[in-house]
């Protein structure tokens, strides 16, 4: 099979196309013919050697068709999405024509979306769903201030939250993106900046403040309502190796989750 291989750590020049042996099917795993895959911010850190693990073949998600599933979990030809389970980190990932993934990290999906459209969903939507339902435990009727809403993860979170019946106030740095966010279900859209929580909610009690962080944490999550949840979904800028800026997120009586 052809694969995009990590030939040492660095920039894009460290990615080279090579021929590799086809993965051998084995029990508990699914061999997938990859049709498309999303590009993730985490993969750039793996490529640069800034991650704890990095496999020879990057890529933490993909969509495609099942070639073989010796354990009987799927049938050849099934349309599936696969993500995580060590992909691109401890096992060869999706930057290839074939990948062998744990069956527990593969999902059969019935969809008429093109492969390219399908490929943008798995990791972003799975992450957003886990953050909103698993951690924030969102409920219909709540108010969600979603910052950085035009990122891939932000758009997925907006789509899910609006569908769940939350009143979503989305922020962006560009007024030209207002209509896009309204179309995804935002009740209101505001320009991103310090004090966004007070500007958009009047500092009322309750609700959630969430989003991926681009700037310093303390300037992004100044949600001072004492009964609001604050949740950091991800980081769009460079990693802070020291963790500087994490601790000051918490304000008196406020619940925070990283």
* Mean pLDDT of all residues in 186-206: 66
pLDDT in tens, 77-136: 999 999 999 999 999 999 999 999 999 999 999 999 999 999 999 999 999 999 899 888
Domain residue spans of the chain: 2-119, 123-257
| Angle of the 122-129 helix axis to the 152-163 helix axis, nearest 10 | 50
Q: Report the percent of the chain where pLDDT is more than 70.
A: 75
Alpha helices in 52-183 (DSSP H): 115-119, 122-129, 152-163, 178-183
pLDDT at site 245: 45
Q: Does residue 198 surpass a pLDDT of 80?
A: no
pLDDT at site 148: 86
Structure tokens at 60: 């933490």
In this structure, are residues 88 and 37 in contact, taking their beta carbons and an 8 Å threshold? no
Domain 2-119 has CATH 3.40.640.10: no
pLDDT at site 11: 87
pLDDT in tens, 207-223: 455 555 444 444 444 55
Q: What's the chain's average pLDDT?
A: 82
Alpha helices in 49-169 (DSSP H): 115-119, 122-129, 152-163
Coil, strand or helix: which one is 44? helix
pLDDT at site 49: 86
pLDDT at site 90: 92
Assigned superfamily of 123-257? NAD(P)-binding Rossmann-like Domain (3.40.50.720)
- Same topology, domains 2-119 and 123-257? Answer is no
Instruction: Specify the pTM.
Output: 0.77
pLDDT at site 50: 86
Distance CA 189, CA 187 (A): 7
* Mean pLDDT of all residues in 185-191: 93
Q: Does residue 151 surpass a pLDDT of 80?
A: yes
pLDDT in tens, 160-180: 999 999 999 999 989 999 999
pLDDT band at 46 (very low <50, low <70, confident <90, very high): confident
């Amino acid at each position: 099979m052809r694969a995009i291989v990590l030939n040492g750590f660095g920039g894009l020049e460290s990615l080279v196309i090579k021929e590799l042996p086809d993965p051998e099917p084995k029990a508990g795993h699914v061999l997938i013919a990859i049709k498309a895959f999303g590009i993730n911010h985490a993969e750039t850190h793996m490529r640069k050697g800034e991650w704890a693990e990095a496999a020879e073949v990057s890529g933490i998600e993909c969509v495609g068709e099942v070639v073989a599933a010796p354990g009987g979990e799927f049938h050849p030809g099934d349309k599936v999405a696969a993500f995580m389970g060590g992909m691109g980190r401890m096992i060869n990932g999706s930057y290839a024509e074939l990948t062998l993934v744990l069956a527990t990290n593969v999902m059969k999906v019935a969809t008429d979306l093109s492969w390219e459209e399908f490929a943008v969903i798995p990791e972003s939507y799975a992450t957003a769903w886990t953050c909103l339902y698993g951690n924030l435990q969102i409920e219909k009727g709540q108010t969600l201030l979603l910052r950085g809403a035009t990122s891939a993860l932000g758009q997925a979170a907006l789509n899910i939250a609006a569908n769940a019946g939350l009143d979503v106030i989305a922020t962006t740095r560009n007024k030209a993106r207002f209509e896009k966010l309204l179309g995804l279900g935002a009740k209101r859209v505001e320009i991103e900046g310090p004090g966004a929580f007070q500007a958009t909610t009047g500092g009322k009690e309750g609700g959630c403040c969430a989003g991926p962080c681009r700037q310093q944490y303390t300037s992004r999550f100044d949600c001072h309502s004492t009964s609001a949840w604050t949740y950091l979904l991800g980081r769009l800028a460079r990693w802070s190796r020291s963790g500087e800026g994490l601790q000051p997120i918490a304000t008196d009586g406020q619940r925070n989750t990283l």
